[in-house]
Amino acid sequence: MGETEMDAASSETIDVLNRRVSVRKFKPDPVPQALVDEVLTAAFRAPTSSNIQTYSVVKVRDPQSRGRLAEVAGGQQHIIECPVYLAFCADMTRIEYAMKRNGNSLENNNFEMGLVSSVDAALVGMAAYTAADSVGLKGVMIGALRNDPKTTAEILGLPRRVFAVFGLCLGFPAESPTQKPRMDFDCVVHEDTYDQRKMQPFVDQYDRELAAHYRAEGRETDDASWTHEMDVKFSAKPRNTLRATLRDMGFDFA
């Protein structure tokens, strides 16, 4: 990376991120509501484009609602069992109100509005995850709420112009999995201009590293673990109706 040992820096935040894993099993200990609110308050300081703050969070406590959300997410039991479940939403209702007050309309909003509101929700969600991790909470993000955005919206009581981008299970961890390897730093960081020539050898190397990781955990995998998994997942065109569904819900991703 071109750094000397003296150049390297460390901090509590860097250490939290370097230790991060996805946790799906939690102790039954309740998480104090004040702690959850403190985590979210800190997360709301995340960057937001032009200060539009196009996000909202739904805390889901009702067991029946959690059960239905777990069904939408393909039967992920930790949505039901975690002490805290949060749904991070792209929310354009407040900006729509601001425009209507000034005689304008959000109808026929363009791609930028849908994209920026989703980015806003993602930034707040990651900030919440990091803040929670820093106080001993662990969790896992649930993108599978997008399997059926309209049913998710009905469960959460979301109005038009709001959709759940992802959920977050939180709690005190009952166990912590082995950290999964990531792509090599030099595969994803480029100097001045993008250098595509280095992609293939690093991806091939990552295939081997990820296969070794899974096999050490007793999981079967292809020798080309990552590229095989990505091909299987995305050649099937997952959530192929998502764009049309979100457009019906007031987000134009066309």
Arithmetic mean of pLDDT over the chain? 94
Please check the confidence at residue 9 and state whether its pLDDT lies above 90.
no
Q: Which residues contact 220 (CB under 8 A, 6 or more apart)?
A: 214
Q: Extract the tokens encoding 177.
A: 């999995």
Please check the confidence at residue 176 and state whether its pLDDT lies above 90.
no
Average pLDDT over residues 142-159: 98
Evaluate whether 45 touches 126 at the Cβ level (below 8 Å). Answer: no
* Whole-Å CA distances, 51 to 9, 89, 174: 31, 16, 38
Specify the pTM: 0.93
Paired strand residues for 170? 84, 139
Q: Extract the tokens encoding 254.
A: 């066309």
* Amino acid residing at 102: N
Evaluate whether 172 touches 25 at the Cβ level (below 8 Å). Answer: no
Please check the confidence at residue 6 and state whether its pLDDT lies above 60.
no
Convert the pLDDT of each residue in 185-199 to its tens digit: 999 999 999 999 999
The 8 Å CB, 24+ separation contacts for 103-107 are 106/161, 106/250
